[in-house]
Structure 1
Amino acid sequence: MDTGPTPPGQALDLAHRRRRVFMTAFWLLAFGSGAVGNLLTGRIDAERYGVPVATWQIAVNEFSSMLVSLAMLPLLLRACDRWPLHADTWRRYLPLYVAGSFMWCAGHITGMDLLRWLGYALGGADYSPGSLWTQAIYEYLKDVRTFFLIVAVCHLVEWFGRHLKGEASLLDAPDEGAAVEPVDRPERFLVRKLGRDFLVATADIEWAQASGNYVNLRVRGRDYPLRSTLAALEAKLDPTVFIRVHRSYVVQLRQVTSIEPLEAGEARLHMADGTVLPCSRRYREGVRAAAGGTEPLAARAASQG
């Protein structure tokens, strides 16, 4: 059954989804093994130093911290996607991450204390965190390391993924002399993959999809992330060749084979490689008018007429 294209803004490319699953599984294993290790060492230390504490209390202390950290983890992973740290962005985004580390610690302490209070109450004991200021300082000194370790690993994995898949960039104007081609209407994009540079012809781009702080360029079945907004990319593309069809998509007209009308004025665009892309009501008539004279649609109309 054809369910149509995945809603824009909700779809991540397959490689990105795989990295997200990897990150979640990695931190689940890391936090889980850490909690178990701390439980065992806490039990050993209690017996060594004669501290009267039950094993279930140590377990509540450790696993409450783990559960709260895992509950907040998706928010931090989304923040890493939303505000990536690159050479040209880290000065702007680093203060956000510093502020985020305080929010992480506050959420960690609040959730952890609530779970511990509940756990101790079920066990027939009283829980007291002691001085809140002392707890806040103590926990932040630990949480800030955990927070920035997650941020560092997340960005490292994303960088490695882009390094394997290839990351596109616009050709810059040379420091000296005239540009080989117009920079404001590029005929090629530079793709860096596994330490090598490749030139991708603009005419080979089938469509472009907005994805967070990037635009994925689809070229012969492969996606190359370009650090740009879709509006900025659209301004550099030839409007007689490429057209906006959705707030998240720009397509090459010659790659459109047919337009399938939908209810409420929207449409689906069937591309030459079999992919189906959304076309919003705002752009539908403009696409029909612009694409009417392109070769694939003209040929299709002739065959049907």
Structure 2
Amino acid sequence: MPERLKQHFLEHQILWPCVFLLIWALLNIALLTTTVIMEYQREGRSIDYWQPLCWEVTSIVMILLCIWPIAYINRLLQSRFSLPAQLLGHAFGLILFSIIHVSGMVALRKLWYWLAGSHYNFGDFWYEFVYEFRKDAMSYITIVVVISGYQFMVRRLRGEASYIDKGEESNEQLADRLLVKKLGKEFLITTADVEWVEASGNYVNLHVGGRVYPMRSTMAKLAKQLPAQNFRRVHRSAIVNLNQVKHIEPTEFGDYVIALTNDQQVPLSRRYRDAFKSAFADKP
């Protein structure tokens, strides 16, 4: 991937998936709609073209609406549970996904048919639900695999930080330097240059000089390993480098945010506010 394209991808990680999903949705709608029409014509039957279009559009719309919740569930399961528990969680997620997909799809089809002056008949509910569930199972598995693959690709492009020596993982304090592996290359970053840290599933993201490096660890563990004189936890999902703090400012909701020297803002929760203010006030 060219450097400019890679940088654009990393800077617009919401835009790129949305564009790909839109292209995928349009292609699926066009392919499946024309397939139904051609099958009817081959069998010598007639059908209004808007009907198969309605079937495919309503199905794809419901799948698109479910992608973000599935991504959230996948991230939550990866960050908190073992593999068997993750599989069990996905089994419940699949059932919920199929119920939402089928019920939403049928409701949209009934509305579409009503607006067209017709009536939509789903057929025998249990037979049709089992039929749809079989397809939903493949859709759900595909979505989880694609999401996991996308997350892996992002980590590869960003670079993944780790301990220089695996033995360092048991030390009480983090080493002064960390190893970053990125697209087959390795280089070092200085721990003191880490501006702030955010939780991301079963990873933590290290923000360093405008770049983000995932590291397989937990916030609780990293909070203990980072030197307390320079790093403080300010939120359940954030740690900041005190040397990178510019000022603290209140929000309209009564909370606070921390403004860093790189102009990024990090939330400051009530739980950590007093300890952070005390540590920040003690900095020279």
Q: TM-score range by the shorter chain?
A: 0.7 to 0.9
Match of 2:37 in 1: 43
In the alignment, the residues of structure 1 paired with residue 238 and residue 212 of structure 2 have an alpha-carbon distance, to the nearest angstrom, of 13
CA contact 2:206–2:215 (8 Å) conserved in 1: yes
**What are structure 1's unaligned runs of at least 5 residues?**
1-13, 299-305
SS in 1 for 2:181: strand
Amino acid of the residue matched to residue 18 of structure 2? T
Q: How far does residue 172 in structure 1 lie from its aligned partner after superposition?
A: 6.0
CA contact 1:241–1:254 (8 Å) conserved in 2: yes
Q: How far does residue 16 in structure 1 lie from its aligned partner after superposition?
A: 6.5
CA contact 1:171–1:183 (8 Å) conserved in 2: no
SS in 2 for 1:83: helix
Match of 2:244 in 1: 255
Counterpart selection for 1:81 from 54, 75, 79? 75
Amino acid of the residue matched to residue 188 of structure 2? L
In the alignment, the residues of structure 1 paired with residue 162 and residue 108 of structure 2 have an alpha-carbon distance, to the nearest angstrom, of 48
Moved over 6 A (4+): 14-17
CA contact 2:196–2:240 (8 Å) conserved in 1: yes
In the alignment, the residues of structure 2 paired with residue 27 and residue 261 of structure 1 have an alpha-carbon distance, to the nearest angstrom, of 38
SS in 2 for 1:75: helix
Amino acid of the residue matched to residue 172 of structure 2? D
Q: Which moved more, 1:151-160 or 1:30-39?
A: 30-39
Match of 1:219 in 2: 208
Q: What's the TM-score once normalised by structure 1's chain length?
A: 0.76
Match of 1:194 in 2: 183
Amino acid of the residue matched to residue 148 of structure 1? I
Q: How far does residue 219 in structure 1 lie from its aligned partner after superposition?
A: 2.2
Match of 2:155 in 1: 162
In the alignment, the residues of structure 2 paired with residue 127 and residue 266 of structure 1 have an alpha-carbon distance, to the nearest angstrom, of 51
In the alignment, the residues of structure 1 paired with residue 209 and residue 53 of structure 2 have an alpha-carbon distance, to the nearest angstrom, of 53
Aligned residues: 275
**What are structure 2's unaligned runs of at least 5 residues?**
1-7
Mapped pair 1:238 → 2:216: no
Amino acid of the residue matched to residue 70 of structure 1? L
Amino acid of the residue matched to residue 185 of structure 1? Q
Counterpart selection for 1:68 from 57, 62, 71? 62
Q: How far does residue 131 in structure 1 lie from its aligned partner after superposition?
A: 1.9
Q: How far does residue 52 in structure 1 lie from its aligned partner after superposition?
A: 3.9
CA contact 1:259–1:267 (8 Å) conserved in 2: no
CA contact 2:9–2:16 (8 Å) conserved in 1: no
Aligned pairs for 1:262-273 (under 5 A) are 262=250, 269-273=258-262
Counterpart selection for 1:95 from 75, 88, 105? 88
Amino acid of the residue matched to residue 206 of structure 2? L
In the alignment, the residues of structure 2 paired with residue 54 and residue 275 of structure 1 have an alpha-carbon distance, to the nearest angstrom, of 54
* Cα distance change, pair 167–130 in 1 and its aligned pair in 2 (3 A): same
Q: What's the TM-score once normalised by structure 2's chain length?
A: 0.81
Deviations 1:190-229 (A, max 9, x none): 3221123333332332322234443221223322122333
Aligned pairs for 1:100-111 (under 5 A) are 100-111=93-104
Q: How far does residue 269 in structure 1 lie from its aligned partner after superposition?
A: 4.2
Mapped pair 1:21 → 2:15: yes
Q: Could you say which structure has the larger radius of gyration?
A: 1
In the alignment, the residues of structure 1 paired with residue 64 and residue 264 of structure 2 have an alpha-carbon distance, to the nearest angstrom, of 36
Match of 1:120 in 2: 113
In the alignment, the residues of structure 2 paired with residue 261 and residue 55 of structure 1 have an alpha-carbon distance, to the nearest angstrom, of 58
In the alignment, the residues of structure 2 paired with residue 183 and residue 248 of structure 1 have an alpha-carbon distance, to the nearest angstrom, of 22
CA contact 1:246–1:283 (8 Å) conserved in 2: yes
CA contact 2:223–2:239 (8 Å) conserved in 1: yes
Identity over the aligned pairs, expressed in percent? 32
In the alignment, the residues of structure 2 paired with residue 35 and residue 122 of structure 1 have an alpha-carbon distance, to the nearest angstrom, of 20
Q: How far does residue 273 in structure 1 lie from its aligned partner after superposition?
A: 4.2
Q: How far does residue 123 in structure 1 lie from its aligned partner after superposition?
A: 3.0
In the alignment, the residues of structure 1 paired with residue 145 and residue 189 of structure 2 have an alpha-carbon distance, to the nearest angstrom, of 31
Amino acid of the residue matched to residue 214 of structure 1? Y
CA contact 2:180–2:189 (8 Å) conserved in 1: yes
Match of 1:301 in 2: none
Q: Which structure exhibits the higher relative contact order, with contacts defined as CA atoms closer than 8 Å and separated by 6 or more residues?
A: 1
